[in-house]
Amino acid sequence: MDKTQLRVDGGPADGLHQAGAGYITPNRYVTIRRVVTPTSQAIYVDGKQRFAHAGDYSKINRAVSVFASNGSIVTVKSVRVRRLGS
């Protein structure tokens, strides 16, 4: 698969993969922030927005998951989930 593609699978943005927005330098920790509201989601890597989509996210109710794909290795230092204020 294309290492530079940010893949979006599932939910309202299913299949809206972002070319050139997915590459992360190997052997380096980054901060990935995903913000989901009832009407949108955005994904940031080290503070830079790499993906945004407006849609109906009001019914999303799934646990956060992190996984490797296509032979990649993912090391997770920490995961923090918090509910945003109204």
Domain range for residue 31? 1-81
**Is the distance from CB of 39 to CB of 47 less than 8 angstroms?**
no
How far is 63 from 83, CA to CA, in rounded Å?
13
pLDDT at 3: 84
Reported pTM: 0.87
Digitized pLDDT (tens) for each residue of the chain, 86 residues in all:
788 899 998 899 999 999 999 999 989 999 999 999 999 999 999 999 999 999 999 998 888 888 888 888 889 999 999 887 76
Do the domain assignments include residue 42?
yes
Number of domains in the chain: 1
- CB burial class (10 A; 0-12, 13-18, 19+) of residue 59? exposed
Do the domain assignments include residue 86?
no
